[in-house]
Amino acid sequence: MSNVQRITQLQLTRRPRRNRQSAAIRNMVQETRLAVTDFILPLFVLEGEGVRSEVVSMPGIHRYSLDLLLEEVAECVGLGLTTFALFPNLPESKKDKYATESYNPDGLYLRAVKAIKDRFPDVVVMTDVAMDPYSSDGHDGIVENGKILNDPTLEVLGNMALAQAKAGADIVGPSDMMDGRVGYIRQVLDAGGFHDVAIMAYSAKYASAFYGPFRDALDSAPRFGDKKTYQMNPANSREALIEAELDYAEGADFLMVKPALAYLDVIKLLKDNFDLPIAAYNVSGEYAMIKAAARNGWLDGERAMMESLMAIKRAGANVILTYFAKEAAQLLKSV
Ligand code: PBG
């Protein structure tokens, strides 16, 4: 008896391939589905008029002056995107040690938040609460003698979050990793009457190499040292539970893991332990890697994009911040 005959005599009662034999069946048994409503698109705003400048390390992603930003939002809304995370690129002259420009109501960022909400009242605007885009030190906290001060930074973050709420932000996103910031911001917002402004906590934010292109986009790289005294050590996952527990107790409305792809286990961990919506930030470096490989013809960029986004959702994130949001929305619309 040949090997082939011997195998066909096997009585296999369980044949997983039966559920993969046609597109219709595969679709029927599919466990995870991406929808345009899963995505938050990060957007970069810069000063000027009629300016659209591509981020070299993020092909296809641009910094827009406010006029063109509004056009971009309109286009994205047409594709079904509803939520945008806004970040500012500021000239060096607007930066200082205390990030004071971050709560200037006439400054670029807050004007942009207001303009988006005025023109698109149904759009959800998520703002970034962190000092680094406005800091002459390029850090997320006040720097003194080479140290990042925690408690004095909270005051700046509170001012910033309140100013953003006044400008119309729906969700504020503290991305700074100072201890106690979620509770502090919640208090400040509530005292200001902004009970309805939500907090998406960057709970497990790691000191990652994958933020490089974002720092190019904002010219926000730390001027000295690194962010390891406040962002988490990539070696740790149990510590993510401590961060998430604190953010939960302090009133966070969403818990976020960042980056996403190298931290799928952490996404799953938070998903299994908390009943809040779990967000994941598919960061700039994760975007850049796929774009670079696709440009070289080394992999199919579209498929790699959709597979990555699917993996993030499968791991447990029901909200995905991603630079792919527009492209993925286009693709989802076309099928
Ligand atoms: C900083 C901030 C960073 C990102 C979002 N907010 C970078 C950093 O911590 O240095 C990175 C986002 C990305 O890489 O796409 N507050």
Per the domain annotation, does 203 fall within a domain?
Answer: yes
| Atom of ligand 1 lying closest to residue 287 CA | 15
Residue 4: which pLDDT band, with cuts at 50, 70 and 90?
low
- Count of positions (residues) in the chain: 335
Per the domain annotation, does 243 fall within a domain?
Answer: yes
Per the domain annotation, does 31 fall within a domain?
Answer: no
Is the CB of 126 inside a 6 Å radius of any atom of ligand 1?
no
CA 214 to centroid of ligand 1, rounded, Å? 6
Closest residue to atom 7 of ligand 1, CA basis: 211
Supply the pLDDT for residue 10. Answer: 81
Closest residue to atom 3 of ligand 1, CA basis: 211
Rounded to whole angstroms, how far apart are CA atoms 46 and 311?
32
| Atom of ligand 1 lying closest to residue 176 CA | 16
Is the CB of 132 inside a 6 Å radius of any atom of ligand 1?
yes
Supply the pLDDT for residue 200. Answer: 98
Phi and psi of 303, rounded to 5°? -70, -40
Q: Is the pLDDT at 1 greater than 90, yes or no?
A: no
Per the domain annotation, does 105 fall within a domain?
Answer: yes
CATH classification of the domain holding 330: 3.20.20.70
Q: To test ligand 1's pocket by mutation, which of 40, 90, 211, 282 has the most ligand atoms within 8 angstroms of CB?
A: 211
Supply the pLDDT for residue 5. Answer: 62
Is the CB of 283 inside a 6 Å radius of any atom of ligand 1?
yes
pLDDT in tens, 15-68: 999 999 999 999 999 999 999 999 999 999 999 999 999 999 999 999 999 999
Indicate the DSSP class of residue 284: H
In the structure, how many helices (H) and strands (E) does the chain have?
Answer: 12, 12
Closest residue to atom 6 of ligand 1, CA basis: 175
Is the CB of 325 inside a 6 Å radius of any atom of ligand 1?
no
Is the CB of 211 inside a 6 Å radius of any atom of ligand 1?
yes
Per the domain annotation, does 3 fall within a domain?
Answer: no
Q: Specify which residues 204 forms β-bridges with.
A: 257
Rounded to whole angstroms, how far apart are CA atoms 90 and 107?
10
Per the domain annotation, does 169 fall within a domain?
Answer: yes
Supply the pLDDT for residue 301. Answer: 98
Question: Which residues belong to the annotated binding site for Mg(2+)?
Answer: 243
pLDDT in tens, 242-301: 999 999 999 999 999 999 999 999 999 999 999 999 999 999 999 999 999 999 999 999
CA 207 to centroid of ligand 1, rounded, Å? 10
Mean pLDDT for the stretch of residues 115-120? 98
pLDDT in tens, 119-155: 999 999 999 999 999 999 999 999 999 999 999 999 9
Q: Which residues does the annotation mark as catalytic?
A: 205, 258
Supply the pLDDT for residue 312. Answer: 98
CA 37 to centroid of ligand 1, rounded, Å? 23
Supply the pLDDT for residue 206. Answer: 98
CA 46 to centroid of ligand 1, rounded, Å? 17
In which domain, by residue range, is 205 found?
Answer: 37-334
Enter the tokens of residue 333: 């619309």
Closest residue to atom 8 of ligand 1, CA basis: 211
Mean pLDDT for the stretch of residues 168-181? 98
pLDDT in tens, 205-235: 999 999 999 999 999 999 999 999 999 999 9
Supply the pLDDT for residue 7. Answer: 61
Give pairs for 189-194: CB < 8 Å, separation 24+.
Answer: 189/161, 189/162, 189/165, 192/162, 192/165, 192/166, 194/162, 194/165, 194/166
Per the domain annotation, does 311 fall within a domain?
Answer: yes
Percent over 70 (pLDDT), the chain = 98
Supply the pLDDT for residue 80. Answer: 98
Other beta carbons less than 10 A from residue 34's beta carbon: 18
| Atom of ligand 1 lying closest to residue 205 CA | 9
Mean pLDDT for the stretch of residues 169-195? 98
Is the CB of 130 inside a 6 Å radius of any atom of ligand 1?
yes
Burial class (CB in 10 A: 0-12, 13-18, 19+), 295: exposed
Per the domain annotation, does 253 fall within a domain?
Answer: yes
Indicate the DSSP class of residue 233: P
Supply the pLDDT for residue 335. Answer: 75
CA 215 to centroid of ligand 1, rounded, Å? 7
Burial class (CB in 10 A: 0-12, 13-18, 19+), 292: middle
Query: Concatenated DSSP letters for 160-198?
Result: HHHHHHHHT-SEEEE-S--TTHHHHHHHHHHHTT-TT-E
CA 210 to centroid of ligand 1, rounded, Å? 9
Q: Is the pLDDT at 204 greater than 70, yes or no?
A: yes
Supply the pLDDT for residue 11. Answer: 87
Is the CB of 131 inside a 6 Å radius of any atom of ligand 1?
no
How many domains does the chain contain in total?
1
Q: Is the pLDDT at 311 greater than 80, yes or no?
A: yes
